[in-house]
Structure 1
Amino acid sequence: MTRMGMLLGTVLVATAGATPLYAQQAPAGAATASTGAQSAATQDFSRLSDDGSMAFEYLSLARNAIFDGDLAGAKALIANAQQALTTARSDNTAFQKAAAELMPSKTGQSRPRPTAPATQQVAWLPIDGELVLNANAEETPEKTAVVAAANRHLKAGNPARAAEVLRVTSVDADYVIAAVPLEQVTQDVARAAKQIGKDPYKASEALRDAQQAVRYASVDIQAVSNAQPAGGAAPAKVASAPASTPAK
């Protein structure tokens, strides 16, 4: 899910006034964020990197090729991943945040290897997005079916219909994006490119490191179901990354 995720993010943000996880919440009584800051936060949430997503498809295929003994194919796929990451640098989708501000998994229950000190700002590339039932909502077959239907509309290229399905059913869902640390992943793939000719196992390890660097951000879009006409929408609830989570 790439451009469709971008479109749904735009639809939901426009409808519900949603704010992404990695947009800082102002303390009680603080001044409202500037229009420019709000626009930047919305852009962070609503835009995914097509090239970043493609790069991860290539590196996943490259690992499979290594496993199958097709080293020539793996080498070509790694080169494609490198090119896609290079292009992704200029697609204006990366955002700056500390690793601690993103969730280590979709449920916040596992931790990938550290990418940087918790307070160090790094560039994150958003590569994927999907709708999931909110963790605080009571899971029922009906609600699960609603979210699945919304995701089908999203993948079919109809984000407005996906948003409408959630609105009319009043299902509390999250829009979750997956993001990767751009510099680290670029280095991991470059390491794989150097190792593929002499040590395929180490090349696969480097690609695995890139895959395990994925972190997540989510926004609760419950407010979409209660949204008023333009000018009267209630703000969506913002999910919080856990302060600490157990290691894998």
Structure 2
Amino acid sequence: MRMKTSLAVLAFLTAAPVVAHADSVHTKWEKFKAGHAFRQLSADGERAMADIAKARETLASGKTDAAIPALYDAKKRLTAADKAGKKFDAAESQLQPAPQHPASPSHTPVTTPTTWIPVGGEFIASETLAPEKKAAIATANGQLKTGQPDQAAQTMEVVGEDADFIVALAPLAQTQGALNRATVFAEGKHAPEAVAALDEILNGLVFVSEGFIATAIPDHGHGKTPAKSKN
């Protein structure tokens, strides 16, 4: 779902007699849009993915002992994400993958209904966007990957409405299983096998539109709502 300024707000901005005031309202509106997108994410799930990325980087350099704390943190945060309301049950065939971000070539579809957690997001720039705004989107996406949504929201203030927001979904049970294997391999000092297990998690992500998440979790975390097939 493309995030566009509403007609009412647009009319207010163009009618405002004081330019400084109009700029202030516009800035607040852009901040609201970014904040609304980020509120659809699982905070614990997002932090878990940041821990997983950190552990993978450490394991890739062969430092198994140094990676273990991040793996433990990721396990705790996935457990917390499971207890929170920002999740839903669905078969993968019920999801509506975002065309801007196809699944990894190594992706193995989940064939049975499972619990999905919105663990991350990414802004997609339109092709006609100015270079400086594309750079801002790249910066914001980097901030999201490192678990800094507030900083990403500030960065996105300069972009405007010409960006889509897509959400990364992780199949909870499969993610936890791969994380457990990675932890066992790391504790056994088998770095390549641990990295492969974490790659299973990253390859298992499915990206969907912000609008799909709003439908799947309409109350934004206050309860668990099954996704419905759109077929």
TM-score relative to the length of structure 2: 0.59
CA distance in 2: counterparts of 1:63 and 1:157, whole angstroms: 23
Amino acid at match of 1:202: E
Q: How does 1:117-128 map to 2 (within 5 A)?
A: 117=111, 120-128=112-120
Q: Does 1:93 align with 2:83?
A: no
Which residue number corresponds to residue 77 of structure 1?
Answer: 70
1:194 aligned residue: 184
Matching residue within 202, 206, 220 for 1:211: 202
Show the 5 A alignment for 1:4-153.
46-100=39-93, 101-103=95-97, 106-108=100-102, 110-117=104-111, 120-134=112-126, 138=128, 141=131, 144=134
Structure 1 unmatched ranges of 5 or more: 1-8, 17-42, 221-242, 244-248
Letter of the 2:193 counterpart: K
Paired with 1:13 and 1:89, the residues of 2 have a C-alpha distance of: 32
Alignment of 1:211-230 (within 5 A): 211-219=202-210
Deviation of the 1:52 alpha carbon: 0.9
Aligned equivalents of 1:193, 1:146: Cα separation in 2: 35
Q: For the structure 1 residues 61 and 140, does the alpha-carbon distance in structure 2 shift closer, same or farther, using more than 3 Å as the test?
A: closer
**Aligned residues of 1:48 and 1:127 also touching (Cα < 8 A):** yes
Shift in CA distance, 104/195, structure 1 to aligned 2, threshold 3 Å = farther
- Contact between 1:105 and 1:111, CA under 8 Å: does it hold in 2? no
Given that 2:123 and 2:137 are in contact with CA atoms closer than 8 Å, whether structure 1 keeps it comes out as yes
Q: Do the aligned residues in 1 keep the contact of 2:167 with 2:209 (CA within 8 Å)?
A: yes
More helix by share: 2
Q: CA deviation at 1:190?
A: 0.7
Partner of 2:164: 174
Whole-Å separation in 1 of the counterparts to 2:81 and 2:45 = 6
What displacement does 1:133 show?
2.6
CA contact (8 A) 1:115 1:181 kept: no
SS of corresponding position for 1:178: strand
Determine what percentage of the aligned residue pairs are the same residue: 24
Alpha-carbon distance in structure 2 between the residues aligned to 1:44 and 1:141: 23
Aligned residues: 175
Over the residues paired in the alignment, what is the CA RMSD in angstroms? 3.9
Segments of structure 2 that go 5 or more residues without pairing to the other structure are 8-35, 144-148, 212-230
Distance in structure 2 (CA, Å) of the matches to 1:209 and 1:109: 12
